[in-house]
Amino acid sequence: MKTFFEHQSLARRNSRAMVVLFFLAVAAVIAAVDVVLGAIWLWSTGAPATTGVYVAGALVTAGIIFLVSLINVARLSAGGAAVARMVGARPVAPSTADPLERRLRNVVEEMAIAAGMRVPEVYVMDEERGINAFAAGWSVSEAVVAVTRGTLERLTRDELQGIIGHEFSHILNGDMRLNVRMLGVLAGIVFLGSIGEFVMRSVRGTKEKEAIAIFVLGVALFIIGYIGLFFARLIKAAVSRQREFLADASSVQFTRNPEAIAGALDQIRSSAAGTLIANRYAEEMSHMFFGQSVKMWMGGLLSTHPPLDERIRRVHPRFQPSAYRPTRQEAPIADMAVPEAKPTGRRSSDLAAAWGHTPAESAALVGTMDAGKVDYAARLLAAIPPGLRDALRDRERAGPVIAALLLAEPEAARERQLQAIPGVAIAERIRQAAPLTRGLGLAWHLPVIDLGLSALKPLQTAAKVEILAAIEAVIHADRRVSLHEFVVLALLRSELAPRPKAPETRKIRELAGEAATVLALVAYAGTRADATGARDAALQAAVRAGAATLGIPERVPSPAELTLDAASAALEALRSLAPMQKGVLVKGLFAAVTVDGTIRVAEAGLMRVVGAVLDCPLPPLFEALDPASLAT
């Protein structure tokens, strides 16, 4: 099975293949336009067209196609939210009271925490009665998941989980970015058909010879547009069909329940609406949806999705609709309640577990998810007190709750932190949130932050800046930054502060200094401060193991060199590594972290944050532990 990094690299190769096919399609459309121009010129003048006419036709056609494609790519630069808005989808607030939407958010939150990624924004297409869904975005941290109203109303929780698992596979396997890029690029080659339709309307009813010629040109462009549509469908089918089989198989792996996605596909098969989408962008987005969004002629050649029967057979060879349908329950109105776990009061900051994976096996965990992690995520979410969950769903309260995680326990120290916050109003909101987070151990913090980020990311930039400023003030109030505080701040900066897209082309040897800084950071995280006698030896062993894996010089910087700004700058630079090079980096960091055969909560948290900043989601590493045992 391919790793996350191999899937990302393959998606980049597919992008290059798509570009080659796009240029071939452009050439075919240009040739068709020139044939039509030559015929019109001959009919209107009685003489063959000159070379200049053909060149002008080619240049104008190519210019229109490329301009439209560039405009659409730019329009979609905002990421998955722009795609969701394009089809009229409505964002589902984290605090929604609608039971079906609440169930959807719970399923998405479980999947996200199980995958170690930020909770995607959730959208619903209210006008669509078919059963369908899609994921969109340029990166894992910017992903959105959208479903139709029919999906919410017609499916059971298990079937819904099967579809969401399918969409998470697209997010984790790199398909999502390719799909969005394809959506923008292919718009150009179908645009000529729209021009032709406009021209035909403009001159309809006019009898002059020139108008007739223009009308004929419009008809020709309309037909040429369908040539472009044929090539667009061919490209989408070539790129996406096999990815759907992979996503179906991944969904079974995530849920350990082949009946879930097989049942969802069976419901589509038995539904009059099926998976059809009525929105005007259904054709352009056909490769992004869970099921076929438009009716297709020459379906075997041009369909973006395999036949439903074949998909069901692959995920569940022994699936019997006659046996399954009577046993499925109608989609429940409320989500299943899970008994709340109670914190035990045990300290978790130094909690460690034996680690039996090699560095290569550890790096291969990136971008993976299985049913055990999904079950763990469900237990962990159920163990979060209801008052805290409600606050994390509220856009006004989520930021203060995250800041309250970092408040010190002695009251005097806590007051100094609150007084350091710029802004009386937000300081007071953080003070009010403090009781909600008191007693939570470090291992709870990342899941709590993941949930809170879902409410914070849609906020205006000014509100995000205010929250970050308050958290930085809390951290710096005692003039020192602990490892945990660095982890929290690095994660929040990477998710809330605007970052330019970095081209992922560089190699580790080009960023050896930055790699050494992050390596030293995780090496220090793995050595206990109270083990003074053996600390230097443990530190040297960790750095030696990591440097050997990365192929960089072995160097142990002093703690004074590992400042917050230096570590943040190093992580930011490493975002530009090529996908396979990121895999080598993560492997080297795991070699350092697990050199002693164990992994601690602090190390696991740091590794997950490094993964988040690099857009390499790392699932929970402590899923075998009881969530209730992770309290302070």
Q: What is the mean pLDDT of residues 218-233?
A: 76
pLDDT score, position 26: 85
pLDDT score, position 562: 79
Q: What is the mean pLDDT of residues 28-32?
A: 86
SS (H, E, C) 358-423: CHHHHHCCCCCCCHHHHHHHHHHHHHCCHHHHHHHHCCCCHHHHHHHCCCCCCHHHHHHHHHHCCC
pLDDT score, position 346: 38
pLDDT score, position 212: 67
pLDDT score, position 536: 78
Strand partners, 147: 124, 133
pLDDT score, position 337: 42
Range of weakest confidence among 165-179, 366-380, 576-590, 616-630 = 616-630
The separation between CA 515 and the C-alpha centre of its own chain, rounded to angstroms, equals: 25
- Residues 404, 595: contact at Cβ < 8 Å? no
511 has pLDDT over 50: yes
454 has pLDDT over 60: yes
In terms of Cα–Cα distance, which of 329, 448, 299, 341 is closest to 388?
448
In terms of Cα–Cα distance, which of 539, 546, 417 is closest to 475?
417
> For the segment 119-162, what is each residue's pLDDT rounded down to a tens digit?
999 999 999 999 999 999 988 888 999 999 999 999 999 999 99
Residues 6+ apart with CB under 8 A from 473: 417, 420, 421, 422
Question: In whole numbers, what is the pLDDT of the chain averaged over residues?
Answer: 83
> For the segment 185-204, what is each residue's pLDDT rounded down to a tens digit?
878 877 776 676 666 666 55
3-state secondary structure of 145: strand
pLDDT score, position 345: 39
pLDDT score, position 338: 41
- Cα dihedral sign, 6-12-16-18: positive
167 is catalytic: yes
pLDDT score, position 336: 44
pLDDT score, position 43: 78
What is the C-alpha separation between 558 and 74, in angstroms, rounded? 45
pLDDT score, position 344: 40
Structure tokens at 128: 């669509």
Q: How many other C-beta atoms are found inside a 10 Å radius of the C-beta of residue 283?
A: 16
Range of weakest confidence among 205-214, 439-448, 468-477 = 205-214
Q: What is the mean pLDDT of residues 297-325?
A: 85
- Percent of the chain whose pLDDT exceeds 90: 28
Backbone angles phi, psi at 124, to 5 degrees: -130, 135
pLDDT score, position 33: 83
- Residues 333, 99: contact at Cβ < 8 Å? yes
Higher pLDDT, 573 or 409: 573
Structure tokens at 56: 């002008």
In terms of Cα–Cα distance, which of 11, 14, 243, 2 is closest to 139?
11
What is the C-alpha separation between 623 and 374, in angstroms, rounded? 9
pLDDT score, position 222: 74
Predicted confidence band of residue 296 (pLDDT cuts 50, 70, 90): low
Q: What is the mean pLDDT of residues 334-361?
A: 58
What is the C-alpha separation between 18 and 149, in angstroms, rounded? 32
Residues 6+ apart with CB under 8 A from 581: 506, 507, 508
Q: What is the mean pLDDT of residues 492-507?
A: 80
- Percent of the chain whose pLDDT exceeds 70: 88
Q: What is the mean pLDDT of residues 241-268?
A: 89
pLDDT score, position 194: 66
Structure tokens at 94: 């984290």
Range of weakest confidence among 90-94, 242-246, 502-506 = 502-506
* pTM of the full structure: 0.84
The active-site residue, picked from 121, 128, 142, 167, is 167
Range of weakest confidence among 28-32, 421-425, 478-482, 557-561 = 557-561
Range of weakest confidence among 5-9, 404-408, 577-581, 625-629 = 625-629
Q: In what order do the strands lie in the sheet with 90-91?
A: 90-91, 121-125, 144-148, 133-136
In terms of Cα–Cα distance, which of 331, 349, 308 is closest to 530?
349
476 has pLDDT over 70: yes
Predicted confidence band of residue 310 (pLDDT cuts 50, 70, 90): very high
Predicted confidence band of residue 480 (pLDDT cuts 50, 70, 90): confident
The separation between CA 600 and the C-alpha centre of its own chain, rounded to angstroms, equals: 27
pLDDT score, position 626: 45
Provide the phi-psi class of 482: left if phi over 0, else alpha when psi is between -120 and 50, else beta: beta
pLDDT score, position 339: 39
Start-end of H helices in 186-208? 191-203
Structure tokens at 626: 């009881």
- Residues 612, 489: contact at Cβ < 8 Å? no
Q: What is the mean pLDDT of residues 8-12?
A: 73
pLDDT score, position 630: 44
Q: What is the mean pLDDT of residues 11-36?
A: 80
Looking up tokens 């190390």, which residue turns up?
Answer: 603
Range of weakest confidence among 288-297, 383-392, 450-459, 504-513 = 288-297
Structure tokens at 330: 């109608």
Q: What is the mean pLDDT of residues 225-252?
A: 81
Residues 6+ apart with CB under 8 A from 290: 131, 132, 133, 134, 163, 166, 167, 275
pLDDT score, position 631: 45
Got the DSSP string for 452-515?
HHHHHTTS-HHHHHHHHHHHHHHHHTTS---HHHHHHHHHHHHHHS--PPPP--B-GGGGHHHH
pLDDT score, position 579: 87
Highest averaged pLDDT of the listed ranges 67-81, 170-184, 419-433, 523-537:
419-433
pLDDT score, position 343: 41
